[in-house]
Amino acid sequence: MGLAISGTALGGIIFNQVLEQLLQSDVGFGWAVRVVGFVILALVIYMSLSVRPFAPRRPRGLFILGAFKQKPYLFTNFAFFSGLLGVYIPLFYMVEYSLSHGMENNFAQHQVAFYNAASFFGWFIPNAVGDRLGCFNISIFTYLACVLTCLLWTSAQSPVTITIWNVCYGLFYGGVFSLYSQTVAQSCPNISDMGTYIGQGSAFCSFGALAGAPIGGLLIRQYGYLSASMLSGGAMFLAACCVITARLLLDKALFVVV
């Protein structure tokens, strides 16, 4: 799962450069976006035609609302919701932040490629390590690393330190996404319901992703980047607390693979 989802980082690098080149040409904004859309459409069509289920489908409900009565699953989703609330704020405003600290426009635009390149490793390494040390254990480490990184965001003031911070954040935030399906799978009592558990949980948590960046932007305009950094770090800390709770509900022993 981690290796497959690391394609997100590759797409972030490629499409960022493609859009930048197209927008600087005579193509215009409309067709620049359409070109990217057509490429994505072709990839989605190929994926849809090439993927086959391993087992025959059986009829089931769209949701299993009773799953939210299971406390490990509930706290895992609270963690992901809070994580999504905080994770996108630095990503959305990194270029603007870089420009506000005197970075040249071309180099500032490349910050997107830098954190995506670093996140390529951050997407699949936590999953690989999680198989050996426990996905909940690694998820706790990932969230706590994001807490520290987010709170240190505004301490990066020069082009060099901003770029270093960007790469560090790229290494850590990928685990927020890639470990979610593993932690949900471990909270699911019936493997045949795992897809529904992941799907309905992702639908609930997506509202955190929807709200985080606009709230962060409002805070930046009103109070500056430090307030957005505190919101991002605070949301990540709440996520860490929730995933710790879920992990202890599954197994209270500290030094075990969970």
State residue 12's pLDDT score: 82
Indicate the pTM of the whole model: 0.89
pLDDT digits (tens, 9 = 90+) for 141-164: 999 999 999 999 999 999 999 999
Number of compact structural domains in the chain: 1
Q: State the helix-helix crossing angle for 29-50 and 7-23, rounded to 10 degrees.
A: 150
Look at residue 214 and tell me whether its pLDDT is greater than 80: yes
Tell me if 256 is assigned to some domain. Answer: no
**Mean pLDDT of the region 188-205:** 90
DSSP string over 182-210: HHHHHH-S-GGGHHHHHHHHHHHHHHHHH
Q: Which residue has the tokens 């426990």?
A: 134
Amino acid at 98: S
Query: Closest Cα partner for 121 from 168, 71, 190, 154?
Result: 168
State residue 1's pLDDT score: 65
Distance in angstroms (rounded) separating the CA atoms of residues 163 and 91: 13
Amino acid at 108: A
Tell me if 258 is assigned to some domain. Answer: no
Bigger pLDDT: 84 vs 53: 84
Tell me if 190 is assigned to some domain. Answer: yes
Left if phi > 0, otherwise alpha if psi is -120 to 50, otherwise beta: which for 28?
A: left
Tell me if 257 is assigned to some domain. Answer: no
State residue 11's pLDDT score: 84
Bigger pLDDT: 165 vs 255: 165
How does residue 231 score in pLDDT terms, banded at 50, 70 and 90?
very high
**Mean pLDDT of the region 7-28:** 84
DSSP string over 84-98: HHHHHHHHHHHHHHH
Tell me if 153 is assigned to some domain. Answer: yes
Look at residue 2 and tell me whether its pLDDT is greater than 70: no
Bigger pLDDT: 51 vs 208: 208
Tokens at 224, concatenated? 């500056």
State residue 54's pLDDT score: 65
Burial grade of 191 (CB within 10 A; 0-12, 13-18, 19 or more): exposed
* Mean pLDDT value across the chain: 91
Structural domain boundaries enclosing 100: 2-250
Q: What is the CATH number of the domain that holds 199?
A: 1.20.1250.20
Tell me if 128 is assigned to some domain. Answer: yes
Task: State residue 123 phi and psi, 5-degree precision.
Answer: -75, -45
Tell me if 201 is assigned to some domain. Answer: yes
Look at residue 258 and tell me whether its pLDDT is greater than 90: no
Tell me if 227 is assigned to some domain. Answer: yes
User: Which distant-in-sequence residues (6+ apart) come within 8 Å of 67 by Cβ?
Assistant: 73, 188, 193, 196, 197, 200
End-to-end alpha carbon distance in the chain: 18
